Every structure is written in structure tokens, then in C-alpha cells.
A = this chain, B = another copy of it.
Amino acid sequence: MQIPPSRVTINDVARLAGVSTKTISRIINQSPLVGEETRARVEAVIAETGFVPSAQARALALRRNFIVALVHDGSDRGIMEAVEAGMLRGMEGSDLSLVLRPLQGNVAAHLRAFVDQHRPSGVVLLPPLSEMDELARLCEDMDTRCVRLGKVRDGHGLGCDDRPAMAVLIAWLVRLGHRRIGLVGGPESSLTAQQRELGYLDAMADHDLDRGPSLIVSGDNSFESGIEAGRLLLEVSPRPTAIVACNDEMAAGVMQTAGRAGLTVPDDLSIVGFDDTPLAERIWPPLTSMRVPWAEMAREAVSIIRAAAEQPQADRAFTAELVVRNSVLPLGDQAGAAVPSSAAQSG
């Protein structure tokens, strides 16, 4: 275990600039209580020496690390890319770093150990972990800021309008002439998935359509479960003309099943996803999907963590938005519905 050589420290800079270390510290921390001249002189020295404050030393003194942890259980790979990107964007201009923390097994114990050891500046919880009040409480106890992504019971957390969004999506399909619409739900334990399923039920009821249990199959957000769900749904008689999945991965799975069964999408079967992950536009035909602004939500999560102010984490509402691509065929029952399946938006 070699000990590497040390580099320019705050003391070197102080000596070279002829001031005290505290003054350097003030400058590092952007304190306004420093004279113009002094500041200029010090900054010159910093530039010359290439001094970079040690994150470890600061962390020790401040009792918190300059990291934000993205905590998830790996069950929904699709949204990770957007969340990572959003968090990274939110950390620009700060000295924060993004730590990836997948958790399995005894989730609470692992999270506690992690926070205990690393004292992150903040923790961002992804569904379904974000739905576990225990984890949020745990962070609070260790006074570590914690932001939960996705719908959460008591209004904490950054979520979007999953339920009405799904209802809007279904209503849109109905306007296009679809009557038999199948649903591939997420894990039954997931609140987000429940909301989306409720939205489906709302809209189907509104339009007085069959929403019997045979039209609803639950998956676990994985591609594989989408394949299986698709298989079940295609056996239903009469066959659904459209299948909506609670995330894009599962929608892709359904598409896979349709393909294997010799069905053409959207001619023989319309398929819609949810979240609008990168996968949606990469598959063929491009998948129509309900866009959930995961990146924006993640960005906001980091902002909350950065904000020193102890504002009680406003329940800011994000809005999902339909992205029409080529996986839905208008059946033309009601000509009013103008959006043609060819209204793809990719270049």
C-alpha cells in the first residue's frame, strides 16, 4: 500500500501568497469576506501552482462527501440512461460527483452502510426503491438529503402525472378506433405501475370498454417479461388490436412476440410503450411512447440536493407527453382522429 506523494496544499498557497490558510479557504469557498487585492494575489498563486483543493480533506472537515449517489435495484434499465444524464447535468458547475449504487438483498442495511461510510451530499432513489419509506427515513436519520424519483405515497418525491397520462394515452387510442386494448403492467408492488394501471382502467371505464382481467397482464419491467406478457395477450380472443406496456422494454418484448407470431406492427397489432427511453426510437417500427421526463426530474433532484435551503421538497409536478411514432395504426372507426401513424417525428 504505497502512499503517493502529496501535491500543492492550501498551506503552500498561503505561504506563497503571504496570507493565512483561512483566507485561502475563504476563497475556495467563495466567501465574500476577502479583499480585492488579496483575492487577486491568491488567485494568481493558485493558477501558478495549479493548486486543487483536496476533496478528501474537505470531506473530512465538513463531514460529508462531494458525491451524490444514484441508488437503484437494476430492475428498470431503460430509464437509467436518462436519469444518469439528468443528474450529471444537474451537477455541472459543482464539485459533485455521481456514484452509481445498485442495491440488492437487504436493501436497507446496504444503504445504511453506504451512507454511513461515504456520507454522500445526497441520495437519489429510483423506483421501486423510492417507494420504500424506510429508506427515506433512514437517510433522514443520518441527515443525508434524499430525493425520491417517481410517484410516492405521501407526496414526497419527484413524480409525474402517470395516471392521467396513461388515461390520455388510452383515450387517444380509442379515438383512433381501438376498442380492445391490452395492458402490460409493471410489478404489482410498484406504485408507479399501479398508477399507470389505474389510468388505463379510468379511461377504459370512461369509454365503457372491456377491461376484464384477461386484458391485463403484469410484467416486471423487463424485456423478457414483455415477451411473455405479449404471448398471453395474443391468445386472448378476440385478439386486442392494441397493446400498451407500462415501459418501453416490455413494449419491445411484446413487439418481439408479435414478430415471432408473424404479425406486422402496426398493421396487425398496435403497440405503445411508456417512458420514451432511447430504445423506443431505435426499434422497428419506431415505438409510440408516453414520454416521462426522467432526465429533467433527475436534474431537479440534484438541484434540490445542492440547494442549501431546507425547503420542504416541493412536490413539483412533471408532465408526461405523448410521442407519436410508427407503432400505432388508426383503425378509422372515427375519422375525426387526425393523427396518422405515419406522423413519426424522427428525421
Residues in A lying within 8 Å of B, measured CB to CB: 1-7, 50, 52-57, 59-60, 62-65, 67, 77, 80-81, 84, 88, 95, 97-102, 113, 116-119, 142-143, 223-224, 227, 249, 252, 255-256, 259, 265, 278-279, 281-286, 308, 346-347
Contacts and interface: CB of A to CB of B under 8 A. Distances in A.
A285 B308 contact: no
Contacts of A281: 223
A278 B77 CA distance: 10
A1 B55 contact: no
Contact of A116 (B7, B80, B279): B7
Given A1-B62, A284-B256, A53 B117 contact: yes
A47 to B, nearest CB: 13
A62 B3 contact: yes
Contacts of A118: 55, 97
Contacts of A80: 81
Given A97-B101, A117-B52, A282 B284 contact: no
Nearest to A286: B256
A68 to B, nearest CB: 10
Given A56-B60, A57-B60, A143 B65 contact: no
Given A88-B102, A99-B99, A224-B347, 8 more contacts: A3-B63, A52-B113, A98-B99, A99-B100, A252-B282, A255-B284, A256-B282, A256-B286
A56 B53 contact: no
* A54, A88, A143, A282 pick with most chain B CB within 10 angstroms: A282
Closest 3 CB pairs of A and B: A56-B59, A52-B116, A56-B60
A329 to B, nearest CB: 15
A199 to B, nearest CB: 25
B63 A117 contact: no
A278 B74 CA distance: 14
B88 A100 contact: yes
A343 to B, nearest CB: 14
Given A7-B116, A98-B100, A65 B60 contact: no
27 contacts: A1-B62, A2-B143, A3-B62, A4-B63, A4-B143, A7-B116, A52-B116, A52-B117, A53-B117, A54-B60, A54-B117, A56-B59, A56-B65, A59-B60, A95-B117, A97-B100, A97-B118, A223-B278, A224-B347, A227-B347, A256-B282, A259-B284, A259-B285, A279-B282, A283-B283, A283-B284, A284-B284
A17 B100 CA distance: 35
* A53, A60, A62, A119 pick with most chain B CB within 10 angstroms: A60
A4 B64 contact: yes
Contacts of A95: 117
Contacts of A227: 347
A81 to B, nearest CB: 7
A53 B114 CA distance: 11
* A7, A56, A88 pick with most chain B CB within 10 angstroms: A56
Contacts of A278: 77, 223
A133 B88 CA distance: 26
Contacts of A224: 347
A302 to B, nearest CB: 13
A291 B249 CA distance: 21
A102 B101 CA distance: 17
